[in-house]
Every structure is written in structure tokens, then in C-alpha cells.
A and B are shown apart, each in its own frame.
Chain A
Amino acid sequence: MDRYYKKKFVPLALPALILFVLVIVIPFVMGVIYSFTGWRGTYFVEGEHFWESFVGFENYINAFKTKKFIDAFVYTIKFTLVAVIVINVVSLAISLLATSLNKGAAAYRTIYFLPSLLGGLALGYIWQFIFEIVFSKILFGEEGVISIPALCNMTQDNTKALFALVMLVTWQLSGYMMIIYTTGLNSIPRDLSEAASIDGASALQRFINITVPMLMPSFTIVFFLTLSRCFMLLDQNIALTDGNFGTRMLATQILRTTRDSSPPDYGLAQAQAVIFFVLIAVVTLFQVSVTSKKEVEL
């Protein structure tokens, strides 16, 4: 079998490679080129072709001079920090619960997995309704079940909206991450834990010294997925607050740049997108290299 794959490598890889080049590599290269030009979406400033419209690093400098971009940058990092921690803790907790169940584990897992099948926009609007009506009026409003002002009008305040978005994303992603953790937990040989408990290790000691190191491969994947997804969050951000009250995240900022300017400054938007790409690539590669070093092989 291996010999077959080795021999037929080129014809087998070619279709995927062609697609990858056509829809990822070429647009990406074009995008990087456009980020150095006065591209306006349908024409180049001062010229027929892009080479007549080069502006050097002007778009990049302008991007960092744009207050909205810096604000979005900071907000995205704040959100990602909180969201990654919360999602990891919650999904690990529910997967520990899922593996300790004897009956109905499959049903339990399915229920937790379902939210990740919903689209981001739909989720955003559902949660907007939850925050605006269920939270603000029925549950935590002045005339609600219990009055908790911190949980009212969560979409109308910069900080509250950050946690509102974390709640939404956790609800959406933790089921998906739970599946990865559950698989990781199931692949840990039971005899390790058994041997440790015979030696007198407490449950906490067993978790820290056996489960966590053995779970590192899953952790690498979950950390990577949550990190990149939280950084790139777009639909949920738009549907929930649409960037109001300073809640614009980087992806939304890039999308809206062409609407903030007239004529639409696609060159600037593209420069922001390149910065965005570099940021995500650096952070996630760094994370993967750090966490995968901590993985243990049996």
C-alpha cells in the first residue's frame, strides 16, 4: 500500500494541489501585492495597472495610525485571551464528566456537540435575543427573577459585551473541543491510573501527573483550534453587537474598512488583512511548537 502511494504521489496529490494554488495561493499573493498599492476595489489610483500605483508601506503605516484598527487589535487580543481559557476549562470539564458517565454518554456528547453545527450568524442572532430579552427582561432585569445589573444589556457595554461574546463562543465551541478531549482521555491506558492509585496517589495527583501530560496531544489541537478561531471570529461579532460600543474585532474591522472610507480603500483593508495573517500565523505556530514539545510518548 505504501509503495502504491509513493509511486502515484503526483497524480493523487495534483487535484488538491491545483485547487489549493487556485483558491488560496494565487489570491493570497495577489492580496499581498494589492496591500502595497492604491487599490480601490475596481481601479488603481493613478494608473491602469498595479505597478503604476505602488505606495510602498503607506497602507501598513496608515493601518497602525487608524485608531479603529488599534482598538480592534487590542479588543481581539483581550477577547482571545479570555475565550481560549474559558473554552479549554469548560470543554475539559464536560469531557471529564462525559468519560465518567456509564449510561447515556453518547446522548450527552451529542447534545453538547450540537451547537457547533450552527452557523455563526444564526448563533449571534439567537444570543442577541437571549441577552436582550431573556437576560435583560425575564431573568436578570429589574422586574426579572433575580435582579443582576451586570447581566443586563450585556451587548451595550464594551466589557460586558466581551463576556457576552465569550459565553456565545464557549457555548458554540466547547462541545466540539469536548469530543477531542474525550478521545484523548479514552486513549490514556487505564493501567497507568490504576498503578498510581495502588501506589497511593490521590485523584488530584493522578489528574496532574498522569491525565494532563497524557492529554497534551489533544491539548495542542484544542489550543490551536480555539486560538485561531477566536482570533478570526467574524460572524458572531457582527451578529451580536456589530462592533458597537467599541466591540469591533479585527476580522470585522478589515471587512468594514471599505465602508469607512470613500472611495473604498481596499489597499488599506488588504494591508490590515496581511498584518492579521502574520499575527495569527506567528501566535499559532509559536503555540503549537511550545505545546507539542510538552507532549509525552509512551
Chain B
Amino acid sequence: MKKKLLSIVLSCVLAIGLLAGCGDSGGTSESGDSGASGDSSGKTSSGKEYDLYIFNGKGENADAMQAAAEAFGEEKGVTVKVFTLGSGTNSDDTLRAEMNSKNKPGIFTTGSSMTLVEWVEGGFAMDLSKATNEEFKKLVSEIPESFQLTDGNANYGIPFNVEGYGYIVDKEMLAALFGENKVEGFIDAFKTATYDEFESAIKSLQAYIQEETAGSVTLSGQEFALVAEKTGKAENLEAVFSVAGSEKWTYGDHFVNIAVDAVFKDSKVASEATKAELEAGRGAFEAYAKALDLKTSNATTPRGPELINSSTNGYDPSVATFASGKAIFLKQGNWVYGNIWKANSDIVDTLTFLPVKMPFTQSDIKVEGLTVEHILESIPVFVPGYYVINDKVSDEEKALAEEFLVWLNTTEAGQKFVIEDMAFIPYNADPETTSAGYSLGDSIISYMSEGRTLTNAYAGAPAGWATDTFGLWLMENYINTAEWPDSAYEDIADHLISSWAEMAGLD
């Protein structure tokens, strides 16, 4: 009897556990669904109830893409289905599941030539030279070479947009530091300044903030005196940089990219790197380590275990630190605009980009025609993702997909969605006439119009190298360490080369 009672109680306990387990999975799938938008009920086993299916991997523009697709559908009298996962969710697994289903997407999205391999090997990505639509062919032929998505043989993608990054700075903060009338002069002088000037400027600023030693900074030979007393916006300052130490990608991807850019012309060249070419980049990689040292030792949180604490030094806290005026510079891209706006909408209209500086010498640079001056004065402007047409859908859907991409990228109605609703900078924008409509976007356009742009060569590194290998190693060994040994720069360059070579199978 006792044994029977025990077994009943135990089964109840197990059942409760089971229910709790179900609750868990219910919760997670729901959170996935709530982030998803679009009409998935259109998918039935009997057949498809749409003419074109777009799988959109960019969570940020879910609503805008839906609206654009509806407008296009209305204009052409067709049904367009859009599926978008929530912002910040990796949509790769979902896309693969959709590719295995009967109703495959007609247009899907992918990030770079490295992630493209999967879709080319699987026969999903359509070689755009096979397109039938004349206008589409023209659109493809007009994509600038550095913005193309290729595997070396064929062209596969239409860019979403372009993005850029650098040191974000608030002009009003500069006004509080140097006086209202010096702001434009400072920005111009900063852009053309050498690394040595930049380094000593950072040190004087840090001393000014932490020890209240008034002084001046010299950039491009011009002297800018600091206001004697910290006033206004400068009062809250704690350090020069706001650093998201727990976000491996901030130094593992974008920051290191500046050095990779000095060695490889673009991501395609980088993806074909040999061990010797990587070795030749050692000087540039050591310059990266020096610039990283300077940045992390002048951050609002002292370098050490606390800097990689994700509760205090994650992405959002780093944006909040910058937005509340505790730091002068934040190294981020234009995608951070919405987050800054949420944290402190007062400063969003006066933001601008300044180039990231690293101590390169001309002998460090392995790209023909590239000069130290150009790197120091430019910001990387790159395509973060591409629309790809699925080769495995019907010819009618492919034709419609081509038509949609032409409509989105060339017509006034389509461009309105791209610029206004998605807040994108069109890759084919004419810098002279286009306005992004917000400070950071316009700042990128001004760099584009001056021709002061770099590429995103690091995207050619082996998959999983930048963030999860090199970035992780930096976080575990250097970002969490207050004192760097003398061998640190050499060690970082060594590890950069060896881990890249190992993952690319070059050893």
C-alpha cells in the first residue's frame, strides 16, 4: 500500500515537472512568435496562397518591409507574404527550416560572401546573370564592385543598404569642451589628425576629465584650448571612451576591421588570404592592438574584470553611458541611433562620426594605392546584408522577385519605404542629393560623397573567427586585464594571425 501511494505521489511530481517543462517551451516559442510578423497563416499544405514570399532577416525593419510588400502587392495586383523574425534574433535556423519546406521563400537574405557559400552549394542562390527582367539586369550591373555579393564567379545579391561606423561624438559635448565656435574646426582637424596627435589628445582629455587639469589638444597642427572649468554637458564626464567590454563583436569585428582593411582590399581578397599575407599584416595588427590599448585604458570603466561584466558593460549600458554624457566617444555604427534616441533623445540631432585611428605606417599597408592618410580620415561603409533570389522556386515567382527588387530600389515609392520607413541609406544613393534624414546617416553620406570610405574586409575571415574566436580570446585574456605586459601587442597580433590561419585551414 505504502509503495503504491509513493508511486502515485511520484507520478504526480513527475507530471508537475512535465507541465513545468511544457510551460518553458511554450514560453520560448511564444517569445519567438511575438517577435515575428507577417502572415504565416497563408501557408497551407494544399498549396501556396501567395505569389511572392520574402524571408526578411533584418528584424529592425519588420513593419517597414511588410508595408513595402503590401504597397508593391497592391500596385501589381499580387499577394506578397513577408516573414521577419524579431530584432536581434539569429534567423539562420528558421530560414533553413523554410528552405526544407514545400513553400520556400522567393527572396531571402544573407549577410556576406562567407554565409553565401551555404546557399550556393545547396543550389538556392540564383546567379543574377540568369535574370530575365531587363530592368533588373540593369540594376545588377550598376551595383558598385565593392558592394557586390559574389563567390568569385557570379553575382548573387542586391544590397539592403549601407551602414557605417566610427567614433560617435556629440557636437554639443565638443562645444562644452572647446567652446561653441571651435566645434567645426575641431571636427575637421580631428579627421586629418595623425595617430600621435590623436593619442596625446586622448591623454590630455582623460587628464582634463579625471584630474581637472586644463590644457589644450593639438590636432592637425592646430591647438584647441580646453575650457578652464568643466561646464554644461562636460560636467558629467567620467572618461573619454564608453566601451562595451562584454560585447566581443565591438573589438572582434568592427574595430579589428580597420587593421584588416589595411592589409586586404575587401572581404573577397581577405577570404583568399594566405599565411604569408596574414604574416605581412603583422604591423597593421600590432597597430590595432595599440589602438585597442589606448581605447580600453581610457574608458569609463577601468580595464579589468568589471569591463567585461555584461550587466554593467554590455551594449545597452555602453550606449546609455555615452548618451548620458559620461563619455566623449562611443565606437559604434549608425544602427545605434535608435538606442541613443531611447536613452537620451536630446543629443541625437547633434551626433556625428569621426574616423577610428590606428598607428599605421605606410609599410604596414599592403593594399595597393591605400595611404595612411586615407585610412585615418575615413570610416568603413559597407553592406550589412543582401537580398538573394531563390533558384528553387517557380519561374513566375522568380520573375516577381526580380520585379519587387527593381521596384524597391529604383522607384520613388519603393525608395520612400527604404529611406523613410526602414531608415536605410540606399546603397545606390547619390550622396550629392540624398539625405538620410538623421544626423548619423547624413554623416555617413558626407563621408561617401568625399570618397573617404573603407570596406569591411574582416567579413572575409573564416566563419566564427571574428567574434567567437578572436573577440572571445581578447575578452578572456586582455579586456579583463588591467595591466598589459610589454609583449601584449605582439601577442595579440600573433594570435590574430594564428587563429585566422588555423580556422581557414592554412597551416
CB within 8 Å of B: which residues of A? 40-43, 45, 116-117, 119-121, 128-129, 132-133, 136, 152-153, 156, 176, 179-180, 183-184, 187, 189, 217, 221, 244-245, 258-264, 298
Contact = CB atoms under 8 A, between A and B. Distances in A.
Contact of A42 (B9, B27, B124): B124
A132 B464 contact: no
A121 B23 CA distance: 13
Given A132-B312, A184-B6, A260 B24 contact: no
B99 interface: yes
A187 B117 contact: no
26 contacts: A41-B93, A41-B96, A41-B118, A42-B96, A116-B20, A117-B20, A119-B28, A129-B311, A132-B312, A133-B312, A152-B305, A176-B13, A176-B17, A180-B10, A183-B9, A187-B2, A244-B475, A258-B93, A259-B90, A259-B468, A260-B463, A262-B114, A262-B115, A262-B118, A264-B118, A298-B2
Main secondary structure of the interface of B (DSSP, over half): helix
A241 to B, nearest CB: 10
Nearest to A116: B20
A258 B464 CA distance: 10
A262 B92 contact: no
B122 interface: yes
A117 B17 CA distance: 8
Main secondary structure of the interface of A (DSSP, over half): helix
Given A136-B309, A261-B463, 8 more contacts: A42-B100, A119-B23, A156-B308, A183-B6, A187-B2, A259-B463, A263-B117, A263-B121
B121 A45 contact: yes
B464 A260 contact: yes
Contacts of B9: 183
Contacts of A153: 305-306, 309
A83 to B, nearest CB: 17
Contacts of B309: 132, 136, 153
A221 B10 contact: yes
A284 to B, nearest CB: 15
B35 interface: no
Pick the 7 closest A-B CB pairs, nearest first: A262-B463, A43-B122, A263-B118, A153-B305, A132-B311, A41-B96, A42-B99
Contacts of B115: 262
Nearest to A48: B123
B307 to A, nearest CB: 10
B179 to A, nearest CB: 38
A138 B28 CA distance: 32
Given A133-B311, A176-B17, A119 B468 contact: no
B485 to A, nearest CB: 19
Interface string B1-33: 011011001100100010010011001100000
A259 B305 contact: no
Interface in B307-327: 308-312
Given A40-B122, A153-B305, A176-B17, A261 B311 contact: no
A45 B468 CA distance: 26
Contacts of B6: 183-184, 187, 217
Interface footprint category on B: 35 or more
B38 to A, nearest CB: 21
A259 B28 CA distance: 20
A236 to B, nearest CB: 12
B306 to A, nearest CB: 8
A119 B312 contact: no
A66 B27 CA distance: 34
B464 A261 contact: yes
A264 B6 CA distance: 48
Contacts of B117: 262-263
B4 to A, nearest CB: 10
Given A40-B121, A133-B312, A156 B17 contact: no
B472 A244 contact: yes
Interface string B91-104: 01100100110000
Interface string B74-93: 00000000000000001011
B476 interface: yes
A262 B464 contact: yes
Contacts of A187: 2-3, 5-6
A119 B27 CA distance: 8
A180 B463 CA distance: 47
A155 B123 CA distance: 43
Contact of B13 (A132, A180, A261): A180
Contacts of B468: 259-260
A183 B12 CA distance: 11
Interface string B115-133: 1011001111000000000
B472 A183 contact: no
Given A119-B27, A128-B311, A221-B10, A42 B118 contact: yes
Contacts of B93: 41, 258
Contacts of B28: 119, 121
Contacts of A183: 6, 9-10, 13
A43 B305 contact: no
B259 to A, nearest CB: 22
Nearest to B463: A262
Nearest to A117: B20
A245 B20 contact: no
B152 to A, nearest CB: 15
B483 to A, nearest CB: 17
Contacts of A258: 92-93
A257 B99 CA distance: 20
Contacts of A133: 311-312
Interface in B117-163: 117-118, 121-124
A260 B464 CA distance: 5
Nearest to B5: A187
A40 B118 contact: yes
B373 to A, nearest CB: 35
Contacts of B464: 259-262
A298 B306 CA distance: 58
Nearest to A46: B121
A298 B28 CA distance: 45
B480 interface: yes
Given A119-B27, A132-B309, A244-B472, A179 B463 contact: no
A152 B309 CA distance: 11
Nearest to B9: A183
Contacts of A298: 2
Contacts of A117: 20, 23
Contacts of A152: 305
Contacts of A261: 463-464
B76 to A, nearest CB: 29
A258 B472 CA distance: 18
Contacts of B305: 136, 152-153, 156
B10 A128 contact: no
A183 B475 CA distance: 48
B94 to A, nearest CB: 11
